[in-house]
């Protein structure tokens, strides 16, 4: 039986080890590439119909065309979101794209952590403690049970966040196209007007780009907090900065941000970063983390395993299609 070959791009040591560990179990041959997919290394996938990529860099139409010419017919992105790939163009050049499901608990846990850090002024508290200033902050913290929390997007991650929030005794509002949980579903405008904390968990697409724009941020309850562990462009950064400066928003926790590409996942210790990102990081009521909410042992295993199984499913369907075509001929 011929083993399926999969070229996996941008594999760090941990991911490469997981791919190789699972390779024998699934009967596949893994070609783990440390570098991200680029025009220069597409040739390394020659002979493999399936490749696996991460979400950290844009896959351009030029790359998709080159992959198609190299014989690639399936891309498994090791992420839930696929806004880094032009799906329509991929289909046009004969490439199917599939995403993976991974533990929603990773992002849900992280979201609750950021929420609590915001409400308890953790950034300034930790900063003062590092300087051996142990005085109480003039600004007291808030308790979740006294809050109304609005969850925008109730897919697997949003639902996991709601399940955790229920244990804190807070009032939970939800917004989604379809009701998927027992939460109190309301229109988005009502959620923004009534919520003390708004957390974003909706996919990024044309209809959700700048979901929280100037108008909607203006609808938010005065003094509310906003959390984004979804995708950066869900939130209009310029308007957020303005709202934070004017005090209409009390704070923000952002694991993702517009323009993070090329900054997050790289060491900028001795290099300048985007001015908007720097402006946010200098605010004591803003927490920035580097798109790491998903990054747990469990989630990483899920990503690798599901990426392999997606490729195998594609190969199975491809083989069935070939056999059917031969029968017709």
Q: Which residues, other chains included, contact 201 with Cβ-Cβ below 8 Å and sequence gap of 6+?
A: 107, 111, 151, 152, 153, 154, 155, 157, 158, 161, 229, 230
**128 part of the active site:** no
> How far does Cα 193 stand from its chain's mean position?
26
Find out whether 227 and 198 touch, Cβ atoms under 8 Å.
Answer: yes
Q: Which of 115, 98, 55 is nearest to 252 (CA)?
A: 115
Q: Give the active site residue among 31, 49, 216, 260.
A: 260
**282 part of the active site:** no
Return the structure tokens found at 216: 């909607």
Please state the φ and ψ torsions of residue 247, each to the nearest 5 degrees: 85, 5
Q: For the packed helices 122-130 and 104-119, what is the interaxial angle rounded to 10 degrees?
A: 70
Return the structure tokens found at 145: 């049970």
Q: Give the active site residue among 291, 305, 306, 315.
A: 291
Residue burial 240-250, b: 16+ Cβ < 10 Å; e: rest: bbebbeeeebb
Q: Which residues, other chains included, contact 231 with Cβ-Cβ below 8 Å and sequence gap of 6+?
A: 81, 83, 203, 204, 256
Return the structure tokens found at 31: 């070609």
Please state the φ and ψ torsions of residue 43, each to the nearest 5 degrees: -60, -20
Helices (H), 167-274: 188-194, 214-219, 237-246
Please state the φ and ψ torsions of residue 73, each to the nearest 5 degrees: -125, -5
**25 part of the active site:** no
Three-class secondary structure of residue 21 per DSSP: helix
Q: Give the active site residue among 231, 305, 306, 315.
A: 231
Residues identified as active-site: 231, 260, 291
């Amino acid at each position: 039986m011929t083993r399926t070959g999969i070229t996996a791009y941008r594999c760090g040591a941990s991911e490469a080890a997981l791919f190789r560990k699972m390779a024998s179990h699934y009967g596949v041959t893994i070609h783990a590439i440390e570098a991200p997919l680029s025009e220069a290394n597409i040739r390394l996938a020659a002979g493999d119909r399936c490749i696996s990529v991460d979400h950290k860099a844009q896959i351009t139409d030029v790359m998709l065309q080159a992959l198609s010419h190299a014989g690639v017919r399936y891309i498994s992105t090791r992420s839930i979101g696929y806004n880094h790939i032009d799906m329509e163009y991929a289909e046009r050049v004969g490439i199917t794209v599939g995403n993976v499901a991974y533990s929603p608990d990773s992002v849900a846990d992280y979201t609750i952590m950021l929420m609590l850090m915001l409400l308890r002024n953790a950034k300034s508290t930790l900063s003062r403690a590092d300087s051996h200033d142990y005085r109480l902050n003039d600004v007291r913290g808030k308790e979740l049970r006294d809050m109304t929390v609005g969850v925008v997007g109730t897919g697997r991650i949003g639902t996991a966040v709601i399940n955790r929030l229920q244990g804190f005794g807070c009032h939970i509002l939800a917004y989604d196209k379809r009701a998927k949980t027992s939460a109190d579903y309301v229109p988005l405008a009502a959620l923004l007007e009534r919520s003390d904390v708004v957390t974003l968990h909706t996919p990024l697409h044309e209809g959700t780009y700048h979901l929280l724009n100037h108008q909607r941020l203006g609808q938010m309850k005065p003094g509310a907090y906003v959390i984004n562990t979804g995708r950066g462009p869900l939130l209009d950064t310029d308007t957020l900065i303005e709202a934070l400066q004017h005090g209409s928003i009390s704070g923000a926790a952002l694991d993702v941000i517009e323009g993070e590409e090329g900054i997050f996942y790289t060491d900028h210790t001795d290099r300048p970063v985007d001015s908007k990102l720097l402006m946010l990081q200098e605010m004591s009521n803003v927490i920035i983390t580097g798109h790491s909410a998903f990054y747990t042992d469990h989630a990483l295993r899920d990503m690798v395993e599901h990426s392999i199984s997606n490729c195998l499913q594609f190969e199975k369907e491809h083989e069935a299609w070939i056999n059917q075509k031969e029968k017709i001929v």
